[in-house]
Amino acid sequence: MRTAFITGITGQDGSYLAEFLLFKGYQVHGLIRRASTFNTRRIDHLFQDPHVDGKRLTLHYGDMSDSSRLTTLLATIQPDEIYHLAAQSHVRVSFDEPEHTGDVTGLSTTRILEAIRLVSSESKFYQASSSEMFGASPPPQNELTPFYPRSPYGASKVFSYWMTRNYREAYGMFATNGILFNHESPRRGETFVTRKITRAAARIKLGMQDKLFLGNLDAVRDWGYAPEYVEAMWLMLQADEPDDFVVATGVAATVKDFLQASFESVGLDYGKYVEFDSVYERPTEVDALVGDPTKVQTKTGWRHEVTSMELATKMTHADLESCRNPTFNDSHVWRY
């Protein structure tokens, strides 16, 4: 039985990846932060009682700031595959917390790479790199496009990207960068623009909210469906050689397009409800991200299915369900 270790298992991607790997028969270990309130909502349906024999999901307390904890865990678990997803992942927030973002989203990658080098050098390593690294470089972006990050988040991810490549080249480690473009789902954090929109559309439809305040509606993104993207992460680690791959749909849409599709899917005209608030603008914006996924398609066979406009409908309807029934969990909607 193969063993995987996931940092960021409580996040959107970590939860889908844990589901996917359990489905594939893996023993899955996840790093979770100790918090004063429960932070495991996205993986509660996967929880297995530690007293039951044969359980395949184990959660470990730890933090990406704690090198000795990472080293001890990897020495004990000796995972075949490590998926490093933990990050302060919000671009706008990274302008408010640049130092913290640099620590968790940047330096933490060095911590885990060092731990692997010291105690678990046979493990394959996946780094959650991001299209934000391309920043001001115009689309379409591929593996050869120069990085021009426009936020502390983007700059931290560029650092992590190069540390991953350096450990691959310096120590021969199987260390791969997945450069993923935006991917969304009903489990997306509520302050990212897609989920903010779909949640508002549902709440306005049900009379629970009157207005939606947004920033730049002209930004162009390439939105895919998160469960399909975690499959790409796994495929990248099954390749013969470690490498760097762009994962994207290749299709562009504006925030306004997504807004319109979401509101129309519940019979609403967004123009009646949406207002501008400059607080949601970024000091430096990334105007357009549209990826070219040719390499990942050719080398791993990965393909996307769900389009951004289908995603808008899917997420809005999931939010309607969860407004009506707060215990709603999309685990019965998505099945591998």
Q: How far is the CB of 296 from ligand GDD (least distance, A)?
A: 15
* 214 touches ligand GDD (CB under 6 A): yes
Which one among 114, 137, 215, 331 touches ligand GDD, defined by CB under 6 A?
215
Q: Which stretch binds ligand NAP (CB under 6 A): 87-95, 194-202, 258-266, 293-301?
A: 87-95
Instruction: Compute how many residues bind ligand NAP; rule: CB under 6 A.
Output: 25
Cα-based distances in Å from 111 to 95, 108, 219, 242: 23, 5, 34, 20
Q: Check 19, 81, 132, 231 and give the catalytic one.
A: 132
* Residue 137 a catalytic site member: no
Is 185:333 a contact under the CB 8 Å cutoff? no
Q: How far is the CB of 260 from ligand GDD (least distance, A)?
A: 14
- Tell me how far apart the alpha carbons of residues 22 and 227 are, in angstroms, rounded to a whole number: 14
Instruction: Compute how many residues bind ligand GDD; rule: CB under 6 A.
Output: 22
Amino acid sitting at position 314: K
Tokens 């499959």 identify what position?
231
- Residue 8: closest CA among 62, 66, 80: 62
Amino acid sitting at position 327: T
- Per partner kind, with CB cut-offs from 5 to 8 A, the member of ligand GDD, ligand NAP, none near residue 330 is none
Which one among 3, 11, 232, 248 touches ligand NAP, defined by CB under 6 A?
11
Q: Would strands 244-247 and 212-214 be described as parallel, antiparallel, or unpaired? A: unpaired
Question: Given the complex with ligand GDD, which of 143 and 285 has the nearer CB atom?
Answer: 285
Enter the tokens of residue 153: 């988040």
Question: Given the complex with ligand NAP, which of 88 and 123 has the nearer CB atom?
Answer: 88
* Residue 241 a catalytic site member: no
- Residue 108: closest CA among 155, 151, 159, 60: 159
* Apex 38 CA angle, 318 and 152, nearest 5: 80
* Residue 132 a catalytic site member: yes
Show contacts with ligand GDD in window 166-185 (CB under 6 A). Answer: 181-182
- Per partner kind, with CB cut-offs from 5 to 8 A, the member of ligand NAP, ligand GDD, none near residue 91 is ligand GDD
- Residue 159: closest CA among 113, 117, 118, 105: 105
Q: Is 78 left (phi over 0), alpha (psi -120 to 50) or beta?
A: left
* 64 touches ligand GDD (CB under 6 A): no
* 197 touches ligand NAP (CB under 6 A): no
Site for ligand GDD, rule CB under 6 A: 89, 91-92, 130-132, 181-182, 191-193, 196, 214-216, 219, 221, 255, 280, 282, 285, 289
